[in-house]
Amino acid sequence: MKRKICVVVTARPSYARIKTALTAIRSHPDLELQLVVAASAVLERYGDALKYIKADGFEVKSTVFMVLEGENLVTSAKSTGLGMMELATVFDNLKPDMVITIADRYETLATAAAASYMNIPLVHMQGGEVTGSIDEKVRHAVTKLADYHFTCTEIASERVRRMGEHAEHVYTTGCPSIDIAADVLKAPELDFNPFSRYGGVGDPVDLKQGYVVVLQHPVTTEYESSRKHIVETLYGVKDANLATLWFWPNVDAGSDGTSKGIRIFREKEKPVNFHFFKNFEASDFLKLLCNSKSIIGNSSVAIRECSFLGVPAVNVGTRQSGRERGSNVIDVDYDRHQILGAIQKHLSTGKRERSNLYGDGKAGVRIADLLSEVPLHFEKKLAY
């Protein structure tokens, strides 16, 4: 009998981080994929990842609406509780043999808690990493709830073991998003028109002389400063005087401040070389990055996929504090002058040396094979 593997995708980056594993699970002879799409991944205003998931041919077993309007600390906490309630019902209906939760968002915690209380073996992907804000608390909490740990780096695996998890339950698989990046490197040319394919806001900009990509999210523990933070990035990028492709933030506490800062800047400055997007299909987004002069902001894609691609990155603020990084990253404060200086430095030096820090491009198949082999029933005991 095939093992039923329930994977919960809750946000647009989560899909990219699990896509090749979903493909490998679906095609594995001993596994049955149960895909659940929830939270901001089902909302159009945050890029409607569900649309891209279905376009890729995946069958969605259940969709979960759990995000409360407001983008503040209270709604984040309440959305987590609502997610636990809704996902418990989904798990009861699907009766999976294992549940997979991804990374460190509040929806991840809801998935982990629901599965744990229902005695369903839980697999946590991307545990053991260190970053700023509340994400680190959530990530480590999910680690303690999880039964198996599929990490991206050896240092992350060691950190999970030091948290008391048994070594035989910790596997360094690499990140499935690197699998997509590896495929992109086989044909890295920007072979599509971003404006005709994805629309967006603003007039099309000339990409022939080079462009930068910006993706900056609010920091939950600094959410009251999110508008101030984004303004510094907006003007730092503006002063670089480059064609700019800007992506809207995730649904986090403070994202309303980030979005408002962008809208006011757009109305006040009327920048002719800025174009704004909600979301791209994963391969297209990585092709866009691969051909850019730099990525600016605080997204983990700058640290993870861009290290593999060798794309120069300007990491702004504290959101990625402590995360392992390659030589492609320059860290700066929320300061327009530092941001501009880092962009200019990247422009003068160009592409960086590629790094396999977060994977070798074979994580998806590796994960599916592990899911077919690990024991389903065991008594979890701490290593200490």
- Pairing verdict, β 148-151 and 122-125: parallel
Burial 271-285 (b: 16+ CB within 10 A, else e): bebbbbbbbbbbbbb
Residues forming a β-bridge with 214: 246, 296
pTM for the model stands at 0.92
Task: Please give the backbone phi and psi of residue 335, each rounded to the nearest 5 degrees, phi first.
Answer: -145, 120
Q: Which residue reads 């320059």 in tokens? A: 330
pLDDT tens digits in sequence order for the chain, 384 residues long: 999 999 999 988 899 899 999 999 999 999 999 999 999 999 988 878 999 999 999 999 999 999 998 878 899 899 999 999 999 999 999 999 999 999 998 899 999 999 999 999 999 999 999 987 788 899 999 999 999 999 999 999 999 999 999 999 999 999 999 999 999 999 999 999 999 999 999 999 999 999 999 999 999 889 899 999 999 999 999 999 999 999 999 887 788 999 999 999 999 999 999 999 999 999 999 999 999 999 999 999 999 999 999 999 999 999 999 999 999 999 999 999 999 999 999 999 999 999 999 999 999 999 999 999 999 976 666 555
Residue 306 to residues 129, 252, 291, 325, Cα–Cα distance (Å): 17, 23, 11, 10
Domains of the chain, first to last: 3-175+359-373 (3.40.50.2000), 189-349 (3.40.50.2000)
Q: Which residue reads 């430095």 in tokens? A: 345
